Amino acid sequence: MGQKKDLTGSEKSKIVRYLAEGCSSLKIAKLLKRDHRTIKRFIQNSQQGRKKRVEKPRRKITAHELRKVKRAAAKMPLATSLAIFQSCSITGVPKSTRCAILRDMAKVRKAERRPPLNKTHKLKRQDWAKKYLKTDFSKVLWTDEMRVSLDGPDGWARGWIGKGQRAPVRLRRQQGGGGVLVWAGIIKDELVGPFRVEDGVKLNSQSYCQFLEDTFFKQWYRKKSASFKKNMIFMQDNAPSHVSKYSTAWLARKGIKEEKLMTWPPCAPDLNPIENLWSIIKCEIYKEGKQYTSLNSVWEAVVAAARNVDGEQIKTLTESMDGRLLSVLAKKGAYIGR
């Protein structure tokens, strides 16, 4: 009877079955034609189970070192825990301890993506802030489009999982499984829309104006009083379909021209309060890593989330404009926090 190195998976299964039937290790060795020592070793290892992990004593961090870590974390945004502790000349601290310490004073964040600002951009942002500094922003309609996909942002599918639980399966689809383009506006404490752009329609000047005609003008604007229309200021960003000669002339025929059409500075998503509304809606529809199976289902989720946004939340956003303008001037045209 020759001695072999390792038992196969099939042999291990048979050993377990034979043991359950009351066979001795010697009898099992004869049945499998394996060395008796190999069978006994497998049985002994199975009965011992896994060895418990020995917890090593953690290095204690002094109050002085904690202050150094806090200052380093403030000076080194997006740095790793190892880099932060090394900059403080603190060694011998395991990763789990470093992360536990940093979790009390910092949060893991991704770098924000924003279009680059050059000198001309900053000057135009300052000029815009000076021009509208005395504007009554309760009369401004802030508008924008948002695309929502079936899968949502990848980074939002993370969260805490209890010990012993398996992470749920997440579908992987190209381009987030497709998406829906949504248009909306906010004025004072009122939400206009949201309205859905027809699937497959690319918003050029003609389709954008037709979309506004079918949704914004017919379903909302025409119901307003003459005094409201006279005082309302329409805001839109500098997308090509918005600022083309065709769109500008079309809006002028609708009475939205000159001072009633707000000029918009370049690279200014941080100045549009409706961007914050989009964040509120996305947090709601993609909470807990939720995904959708159809474009209609994600659109229904957007509508439901928009209905849950109350007037006070919208009013808070529109009333933040005075502060945003002052921040732009104080930062000499640089980006402001939203």
Query: Same domain, yes or no, for 326 and 251?
Result: yes
Contacts of 239 (CB under 8 A, 6+ apart): 145, 203
pLDDT computed for residue 298 by the predictor: 94
Predicted TM-score (pTM) of the model is 0.68
pLDDT computed for residue 1 by the predictor: 45
Query: Same domain, yes or no, for 195 and 95?
Result: no
Radius of gyration of the CA atoms of the chain, in A:
31
Backbone angles phi, psi at 308, to 5 degrees: -80, -10
Query: Same domain, yes or no, for 137 and 270?
Result: yes
Count: domains in the chain: 3
What is the percentage of the chain residues whose pLDDT exceeds 70?
86
pLDDT digits (tens, 9 = 90+) for 105-116: 887 776 666 778
Whether the pLDDT of residue 291 is over 60: the answer is: yes
| Residue 39 banded pLDDT, cuts 50, 70, 90 | confident
Coil, strand or helix at 178: coil
Whether the pLDDT of residue 329 is over 90: the answer is: yes
Query: Same domain, yes or no, for 236 and 188?
Result: yes
Query: Same domain, yes or no, for 15 and 95?
Result: no
Query: Same domain, yes or no, for 20 and 94?
Result: no
Distance CA 236, CA 243 (A): 9
Query: Same domain, yes or no, for 262 and 326?
Result: yes
* Mean pLDDT of the chain, nearest integer: 87
Query: Same domain, yes or no, for 202 and 67?
Result: no
pLDDT digits (tens, 9 = 90+) for 255-272: 999 999 999 999 999 999
Query: Same domain, yes or no, for 312 and 180?
Result: yes
pLDDT computed for residue 157 by the predictor: 59
pLDDT computed for residue 316 by the predictor: 96
Whether the pLDDT of residue 281 is over 80: the answer is: yes
Across 21-28, average pLDDT: 87
- Residue 311: give the domain boundaries: 119-155+176-331
C-alpha pair distances (Å), 268 with each of 191, 240, 324? 21, 15, 11
pLDDT computed for residue 5 by the predictor: 64
Query: Same domain, yes or no, for 187 and 235?
Result: yes
| Residue 98 banded pLDDT, cuts 50, 70, 90 | confident
Contacts of 91 (CB under 8 A, 6+ apart): 85
Distance CA 271, CA 335 (A): 9
pLDDT computed for residue 194 by the predictor: 97
- In which element (H, E) is residue 329 found? helix 321-330
Query: Same domain, yes or no, for 194 and 299?
Result: yes
pLDDT digits (tens, 9 = 90+) for 214-224: 999 999 999 99
